[in-house]
Amino acid sequence: MTRFDAIAFDLDGTLIDSAGGVAHALNAALAQEGMPSFALDTVRGWIGDGPDALIARALATPELASFDSYELAARLRRGFDAATLRSPMAGSRVFDGIAATLDEIAQQRPLIVITNKPTPLSRAVLHAAGLLRFFEAVHGADMPLQRKPSPLLLRQAASAVGVATGRVLMVGDAAVDIAAALAAGCPAAWAGWGYGHMPADAPAEVWRLARPHELLLRLAMPVSASTEC
């Protein structure tokens, strides 16, 4: 188990099935403004680019287009953050097999969270989920330029734990996770149990994982075998 010096995980759709929680926070913010809510399946399709993009997608719908304004978006963001911090795991759950997988890997190498969710919200969710203890660091997109597919967070996280960027494996369910890894020069693994889809043009070297425990199996393979999967 020496191919990677650290493992980075996306949060929403990779570690935590948080679509219900994101929908809860968004709809709570909308309700404060007297605006209609959205169904879970609709919100699930908006997840992956952080709360500002989520809110922008909601405001771009026919139901809310007439409400669109910068001031409203800022108020909705404050409401979203407050709802998340009040009940970080409302409507959410840890994906089956994640805790056991993290527990085993954390004994071998540092684990990091790389997410487009802002850091304070990410830490609150991870703490409430009982997963924060597994991670050496949590790097959220607190500024727009940090959002995946930008490689910036991956590069910052690798530097913070003292490893080469190319020795960090990025695990995520979304196209932006794979794109960020490739842009940073990191190997990548696609979390097939999440919300996203594997990019059609993803290199063959990207691991395709159907369940969390498959990551353990891949990490245990000899380097020559794992690169052929």
Residues tagged active-site = 10
Question: Which residue type occupies 50?
Answer: G
- Of 123, 118, 120, give the one whose Cα is nearest residue 140: 118
- Of 11, 15, 207, give the one whose Cα is nearest residue 94: 15
Residue 201 contacts residue 39 (beta carbons within 8 Å): no
Contact residues for 174 (Cβ-Cβ < 8 A; gap 6+): 10, 13, 48, 148, 194, 195, 196
CA dihedral 114, 179, 171, 204 (to 10 degrees): -170
Give CA–CA dist 27/45, Å, rounded: 15
Contact residues for 200 (Cβ-Cβ < 8 A; gap 6+): none
Pair type for strands 16-17 and 93-94? antiparallel
